[in-house]
Amino acid sequence: MAQNYRQPGKRLLYKNSTGSVIPAGTPVAFGTTRIGVAVNDIPAGGEDVIQLAGVWVLPCTLSGEVTRGTPLYLTSDGKITETASSNTPAGIAAYDAASSATEIEVLLG
C-alpha cells in the first residue's frame, strides 16, 4: 500500500468560526465547492467532524419540483435549493421532491 495514504476522506475536522454552536445535522459550506454535515454539535470556536458523503435529509427551499439527480446547492441561510447562483454546490437530489417540500434527501458530493 502507498505510504502517503491517510484516510477515506468521508469525514474531516471542521473549525467553527461562526461565533455560535453548529448543531449536529446542520449542513455547512466546506470551502466554496462542496458541503459537509456536522456529525456532532460543534462549539463556537471549536472543531469537530463533518461528514462529506452519504445521503442526508436537509432543510430546503425549492422554487419548483425537483427530480432525482438534480444538482443542489446550499444557501447562505443553511437551506438546500436547486438555484446555483451565489450558492455552494451540495450534491444531487437522491429522490424526487415536490416544490412544497421543507426537507430533501441530498446525496453529498
Rounded-to-integer distance, Cα 14 and Cα 66, Å? 30
> Residue 27 has what pLDDT?
98
Within a 13 Å sphere around the CA of 1, how many CA atoms are in the beta-carbon half?
Answer: 4
> Residue 91 has what pLDDT?
98
Confidence of residue 83 (pLDDT cuts 50, 70, 90): very high
CA 35 to chain CA mean position, Å: 4
CB 69 within 8 Å of CB 92 = yes
Q: Domain-by-domain residue ranges, the chain?
A: 11-51, 55-108
**Digit-coded pLDDT (tens) for 2-57:** 999 989 999 999 999 999 999 999 999 999 999 999 999 999 999 999 999 999 99
> Residue 102 has what pLDDT?
98
> Residue 28 has what pLDDT?
98
> Residue 30 has what pLDDT?
95
